[in-house]
A and B are shown apart, each in its own frame.
Chain A
Amino acid sequence: MRLEILHKGQKLRNRLAIRIMGAVAGGEPDDVIKTSLYRPEFFGRPWIKLLHSVMRGPSDWTPGDRELFAAFTSRLNTCHFCVGIHVNTTKLTLDPTITIERLDNWRTAGFELRILSVLELLEKFTLAPNDISLADILKVRAAGVSDNAIVDAMHIGFVFNLVNRLANALDYDYGTESDALKAASILNRVKYQLPGFLLH
């Protein structure tokens, strides 16, 4: 990461927690976790709460659907780090055959209509938000997506348009492809949560 404070500026309790998490999981916590643990009253505390709610809270979308939307948004934002992690979480939760190539060719990749309609909406949401129109919403509804599910998908777009920019600006790095798979597996297991005491 480009800011040393996110590695070395953590308070002692969180430095120890990072070390313990690393020992238990067999590798250091990823850069999103480190960023969340640094001065959590500024960012990490509300961020982790929102992230858990959006990615694993009650929704019409399965965790796997949500991981696909996350990977897709990250690809649109050319976020190498988040694509690496969330293609792997999508493999674990939705479809082991998912690849970056299928994300890039999403219109012909065999996704069901509800998913396709949301990918189309997320593309505009991410690349041309001012062009989102009434017709776009009606198209997603016509594909059988409820308003609650539309709002949930937009919030996945929200959190990933945020974290993709952090990852790109601060140069998040997941290490090797094997490390990315390990990080994805941990993320899936802990459901985007961190122990509350570390965020206070």
Chain B
Amino acid sequence: MLVTSTLNDFLSTLIESINYGINDAMKESIEANSSVIFVASRIYLNLRCSIDYDRDNATIMITPSNATVSNYYDRGNESLIRITLTPIMVASYGKA
């Protein structure tokens, strides 16, 4: 089954997933009393996908590229979303 999502949901879920991943990694490093932790100073994402406009709901829909989408629906390779994420520590919010 082809699963598509609105661009808004897609991006917010993506950022949420990355946040979970980074936080869990930090938590586990701390729990393991590691002498050093590794922080992701920058994350670049190049997402191959199909982007369509859903006229009924007046929203942008996205279908990320993968084998199922490519082989069974012949889609997923037309568009590219480039995202660069930089983690900001909570204590640094609002500071220049």
Whether A and B are associated in the same complex: the answer reads no
Q: Measuring CB to CB, which residues of chain B are less than 8 angstroms from any residue of chain A?
A: none
Q: Measuring CB to CB, which residues of chain A are less than 8 angstroms from any residue of chain B?
A: none
